[in-house]
Amino acid sequence: MDATFLEALRKELPPTFSRQVAAEALKGIYSAGRLCTLDSMGKGPGGVRIGRVVAYEKGAFLRWLEGRINTPSGNKRLGGCA
């Protein structure tokens, strides 16, 4: 993920949105379930509960996501499967 990715999300996402909308925007990166788990551990983007729905504010969500981005430098491996 890079600045271009974040800019695309900034344009695509509404001012507030549900966890499911966030997962759809982050296809293959974070599922709604994973966002729920991260929120319950205090490591998620944070949000507000409106009835049975958790809603995120766009600015806070994008700051959280940006803070989780690891940008590789040089030829360093990121780890995980090769």
For residue 76, what pLDDT is reported? 58
Number of domains into which the chain is organized = 1
Cα(74)–Cα(45) distance, integer angstroms: 29
1-60 per-position pLDDT tens digit: 457 889 999 999 999 999 999 999 999 899 999 999 999 999 999 899 999 999 999 999
Residue 81 forms part of a structural domain = no
Asked if the structure places residue 76 within a domain, the reply is: no
In a domain, 40, yes or no: yes
**Residue 72 in domain:** no
3-state secondary structure of 76: coil
C-alpha span between 34 and 23 (Å, rounded): 9
Write down the pTM of the prediction. Answer: 0.80
